């Protein structure tokens, strides 16, 4: 299959960025943005993974954060299929949900096609922490460091309220094309809905994602992992288990691995951009 690129060059607050639509081998198109920095000491790429229903904007809307992290290296951000500017992947369905293996098979191909240099420092927020965990375990030789920003614990069980989205019987009987059309990311935002089709299919794949992660070797102790946790999430009741205590399962035995707690909201990179940027600097150094 031919590979297609559509490159958009833009500037945001003096930052130089490349917005690109890339059609990968599987036939899906993915939108990504990269912020080059050829003079940074770190010659690899800092790769960002969004939360469950989030887009690139969770990293770019706070210009203080974006400017800060860009000084330490080249940045790569992307919208997973069905979110933001990336069209839905119509191969996903109830029987073929969105999983860590599927997401990362696309990501590794995207990084190669876009010629994003390794080693990678991978940054995952919320549900994106599960995908980053899988990526770092799967490709340890490509990884310099891991930063988890209030990640979804990889050994947790969702609350009944969250799982009610998965149990919407009418959705399971609708074709994926109809569901993606009616409950697209944009429509969900306009109608103030709690969920979009892409989140539904992601939750349908939650148990498979956990299984896929557990089938991989643990994160190498050669790779430092820093986790920044939001204390208010303890009372959010997103999962049935204690939030912070379960996040500790991500830590390995690297001497630099640690958990840092903060009173910021769940989007710590927006509420406390300096704190998150400082952790990226540690991993770069």
Give per-residue pLDDT as tens, 177-222: 888 888 787 776 665 555 688 888 998 999 999 999 999 999 999 9
Exposure string of 4-22, with b = 16+ CB inside 10 Å and e = fewer, is eeeeeeeeeeebebebbbb
Euclidean distance between CA atoms 115 and 247, whole angstroms: 32
Picking from 46-50, 96-100, 171-175, which range would have the lowest pLDDT averaged per residue? 171-175
* Res 28: pLDDT: 96
Write down the mean pLDDT value for the chain: 90
Please give the structure tokens belonging to residue 69. Answer: 């992290």
Decide if pLDDT at 2 tops 60: no
CATH architecture designation of domain 4-284: 3-Layer(aba) Sandwich (3.40)
Euclidean distance between CA atoms 39 and 36, whole angstroms: 9
* Res 20: pLDDT: 93
pLDDT band at 132 (very low <50, low <70, confident <90, very high): very high
The pLDDT tens digits for 65-102 are 999 999 999 999 999 999 999 999 999 998 999 999 99
Tell which residue, 89, 91, 93, 165, has the closest CA to residue 127: 165
For residue 183, is the peptide bond before it cis, meaning its omega torsion is within 30 degrees of 0? no
**This prediction's pTM:** 0.91
Which residue is listed with tokens 């690139």?
A: 56
Contact partners, residue 144, CB within 8 Å, separation at least 6: 42, 44, 119, 120, 121, 223, 283
* Res 15: pLDDT: 74
The residues spanned by each domain of the chain are 4-284
Euclidean distance between CA atoms 8 and 284, whole angstroms: 28
Q: Which helix (H) or strand (E) holds 18?
A: strand 15-23
């Amino acid at each position: 299959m031919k590979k297609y690129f559509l490159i958009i060059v833009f500037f945001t607050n003096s930052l130089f960025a490349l917005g690109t639509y890339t059609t990968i081998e599987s036939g899906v198109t993915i939108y990504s943005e990269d912020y080059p920095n050829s003079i940074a000491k770190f010659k690899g790429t800092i790769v960002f993974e969004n939360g469950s229903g989030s887009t690139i904007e969770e990293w770019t809307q706070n210009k203080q954060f974006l400017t800060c992290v860009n000084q330490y290296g080249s940045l790569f951000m992307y919208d997973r299929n069905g979110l933001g500017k990336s069209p839905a992947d119509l191969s996903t369905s109830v029987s073929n949900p969105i999983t860590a293996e599927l997401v990362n098979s696309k990501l590794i191909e995207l990084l190669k096609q876009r010629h994003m240099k390794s080693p990678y420092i991978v940054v995952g927020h919320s549900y994106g922490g599960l995908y980053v965990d899988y990526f770092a375990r799967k490709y340890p030789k490509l990884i310099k460091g891991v930063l988890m920003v209030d990640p979804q614990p990889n050994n947790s069980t969702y609350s009944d309220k969250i799982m009610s989205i998965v149990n919407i019987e009418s959705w399971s009987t609708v074709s994926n094309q109809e569901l993606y059309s009616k409950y697209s990311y944009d429509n969900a935002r306009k109608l103030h809905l709690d969920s979009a089709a892409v989140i539904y299919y992601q939750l349908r794949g939650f148990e498979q994602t956990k299984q896929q992660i557990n089938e991989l070797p643990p994160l190498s102790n050669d790779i430092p992992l820093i986790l920044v946790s939001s204390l208010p999430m303890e009372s959010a009741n997103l999962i049935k288990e204690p939030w912070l205590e379960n996040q500790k399962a991500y830590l390995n035995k690297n001497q630099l691995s640690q958990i840092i707690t903060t009173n910021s909201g769940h989007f710590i990179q927006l509420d406390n951009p300096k704190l998150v940027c400082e952790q990226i600097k540690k991993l770069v150094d």
